[in-house]
A and B are shown apart, each in its own frame.
Chain A
Amino acid sequence: MCKEFEEKIINYLIGEIENENEKKNILKHINECESCNVYFNQMLKTINYTKETILYNKTKFDIFKIEKKIRMRKIFKRFLLGSSIAAAIMFIFIIVPYFKNISKKEVIEINKFNQFSDASFAIEYNNNENYFENKFANLEEKYLLIKEEFNE
Chain B
Amino acid sequence: MNKYENLNDDDLIKLYKKGDKMAMQFLMEKYHQYLFKIGYSFLNNKEDIEDLIQDTYIKIIKNIKQYKMNNYFKYWITRMLKNNIINFYKKKKINVLDETQLFALNNVEDNSPDTMIQLLNEERIAIINSIINEELKEEKKKIIEMKFNENLKAKEIAEKLKMPLNTVLTSIHYSLIKIKDKLKEKGYL
Contact = CB atoms under 8 A, between A and B. Distances in A.
Contact of A16 (B25, B132, B153): B153
A53 B50 CA distance: 12
A58 interface: yes
The bracket for how many chain B residues form the interface is 35 or more
A42 B189 contact: yes
Contacts of B21: 63-64, 67
A56 B176 contact: no
B138 to A, nearest CB: 16
Nearest to A46: B180
Given A59-B50, A60-B29, A16 B154 contact: yes
A52 B49 CA distance: 11
Interface string A21-57: 0000000000000000000001101110111111111
A59 B128 contact: no
A73 B149 CA distance: 25
A152 interface: no
Interface of B: 21-22, 24-25, 28-29, 32-33, 36, 39-40, 46, 49-50, 53-54, 57-58, 61-62, 120, 124-125, 128-129, 132, 144-145, 147-149, 153-154, 169, 172-173, 176-177, 179-180, 183-184, 188-189
B50 A58 contact: yes
A10 to B, nearest CB: 5
Contact of B145 (A7, A54, A60, A61): A54
A63 B54 CA distance: 11
Secondary structure of the A contact surface, majority rule: helix
Contacts of A47: 148, 176
Contacts of A69: 54, 58
Contacts of A107: none
B145 to A, nearest CB: 6
A57 to B, nearest CB: 7
A119 interface: no
B62 A59 contact: no
A10 B24 contact: no
